Amino acid sequence: MTAHKNQPFARRLRFALAGLAHALRTEQSVKAQVVVFILVVATMLWLRPEALWWAMVILASAGVFAAELINTAIEHLADHLHPDAHPQIRVVKDCAAAAVLIAALGAIGVGAALAAHLLIK
C-alpha cells in the first residue's frame, strides 16, 4: 500500500493542496495560468454572460489548469527517474505539453464562441 492510498478524505485533500501550492510556487506556466484565469473571470464579470457560458468557461479553464498540473507532475517524475536527456523521455514530456496545448486551444474555442454569441446577441 502506498502512503496516499486509502487515507481519509481530509488527508488526501491536504496532499492535493500541497501539490497545488508547490506548482504555484515553482512553475511559471502554472502562475501564468492563474493570471489568465483571473483575467478571464474579471472579463466574465464585466460581460455578464448567462450561467451556461460561465459553466463552459470555468470547465474549459479547469481543464487547462488540470492539464498543466498533470504536465508538471509528468515532467518532475520523468526528470527524477531519468535526469539525462533521453529520446523516449522527450516524447513523454512533449506529449504532456501537447495535452496542455490542446486544452488551451479548446478554452480559446470556448472564448471565441462566447465572443461570437455576444456579438450576435
Say if 7 falls within a structural domain. no
What value, to the nearest 5°, has the Cα angle with vertex 58 and ends 40 and 71? 90
Q: How many domains does the chain have?
A: 1
CA distance 86 to 41: 40
For residue range 65-119, what is the model confidence (pLDDT) as tens digits? 999 999 999 999 999 998 898 899 999 999 999 999 999 999 999 999 999 999 9
| Catalytic option among 27, 50, 68, 75 | 68
Residue 3 above 70 pLDDT? no
Supply the pLDDT for residue 117.
95
Q: What cell numbers appear for 103 in the block?
A: 486544452
Residue bearing cell 479547469: 62
For 100, the domain range is: 28-120
Tell whether the model's pLDDT for residue 1 goes beyond 60. Answer: no
Quick check: is 15 in a domain? no
Question: Is 68 annotated in the active site?
Answer: yes
| Domain presence at residue 55 | yes
21 in any annotated domain: no
Determine, yes or no, domain membership for 6.
no
